[in-house]
Amino acid sequence: MLQASSRALRNASFIRGNVSVNGLGRSAASLRWAHNTAPVGLAFEEIPAKDPSPDSKFPGPLVIVHGLFGSKQNWRSLAKRFHQTLHAPIYSLDLRNHGQSPHNEVMDYTSLANDIIEFCKEKSLKNINLLGHSLGGKAVMAAALSPDLPPEVLSKLIVVDMSPARGPISDEFKTYLKAMKEIEHKRVKSRKEADDVLQAYEPDVSVRQFLLTNLDRAPTGATPHQKFRIPLDILDKGIDGIGDFPYEPDHRKWEGKTLFVKGSKSKYINRRNIPIAKEYFPNMEMITLEAGHWVHAEQPVEFVNRVSEFILQP
């Protein structure tokens, strides 16, 4: 999605990496449609703490998890803004089957949560502020509720325009998958041709630009047509499960401070599922920004300010 930019923010340095987990790769054994598979190593970008001296006082690290069809690169501008505000380390992750992270046919929230938890363990992160949008919002909620989460890891939880309620996924996301499959089927050779195909499915140019960030770089001799780096067949197979959630509120709760950020024009958080969210997260609060589902992209300055205020609260 469209991200805010500022010349002052361009000086923040990123460290890119990938956490290895027990040497897992994209072997046939890791591509079984089953629950509770071992975690995959997530690709990430890191902005180190602004002042790493022992006397520095800043909040714990901020870990950012994108939504469906997103990636860490969509959050790069906002990560820099958060770094300027919080002076804390910022980690932006690619979920499995997104960005530069490994592909795996398992796409349930227990597995997504385990990937995030394993990342935090690998990086020895403690007292983190965990932020997730949309699909990433459900993933971070599942991580907070997971019995496998070490108690010292999570300090505060931020959920952006998503609730833990179960329900069918919005038809628009299935439509986007259909459009991306058509782009590959037509073997288009340029981003312009890919955008022409998308226009029949999505009139909003910012949404089309967001989806097209998933295209690989310019075609090569071996692959002379445009191809998406995300595994469309795997996502298509698991799309209905994205509306699910692995826990019941009478079985799992997280008592820590939690912020829900709602877009005023979005229905993902509504009067029917807010009580459900309160059952899982009794110490929650909610703010509403004038935006649709992509709150952070539509209101980047207010979003960073309000979330930072929440993180900096004692």
How do residues 80-129 score in pLDDT, each as one tens digit?
Answer: 999 999 999 999 999 999 999 999 999 999 999 999 999 999 999 999 99
**Which pLDDT score is estimated for 6?**
35
CA dihedral 72, 76, 82, 85 (to 10 degrees): 160
User: Is there a catalytic annotation at residue 293?
Assistant: yes
In total, the chain counts a number of residues equal to 314
Q: End-to-end CA distance of the chain: give it in Å, rounded.
A: 32
Instruction: Give the Cα separation of 282 and 276 in Å (integer).
Output: 10
Q: Report CA-CA distances (Å) from 140 to 11, 49, 79, 134, 186.
A: 29, 22, 17, 10, 36
Kindly name the residue from 51, 148, 204, 233 that is annotated as catalytic: 233
User: Is there a catalytic annotation at residue 98?
Assistant: no
Residue in 31, 97, 56 with CA at minimum distance from that of residue 242 = 97
User: Is there a catalytic annotation at residue 233?
Assistant: yes
**Which pLDDT score is estimated for 277?**
97
How do residues 254-295 score in pLDDT, each as one tens digit?
Answer: 999 999 999 999 999 999 999 999 999 999 999 999 999 999
**Which pLDDT score is estimated for 31?**
33
Kindly name the residue from 77, 92, 101, 134 that is annotated as catalytic: 134
Residues of the chain with pLDDT under 50: 1-14, 18-35
Q: Which helix (H) or strand (E) holds 135?
A: helix 135-145
pTM of the predicted structure, to 2 decimals: 0.86
Kindly name the residue from 66, 83, 98, 293 that is annotated as catalytic: 293
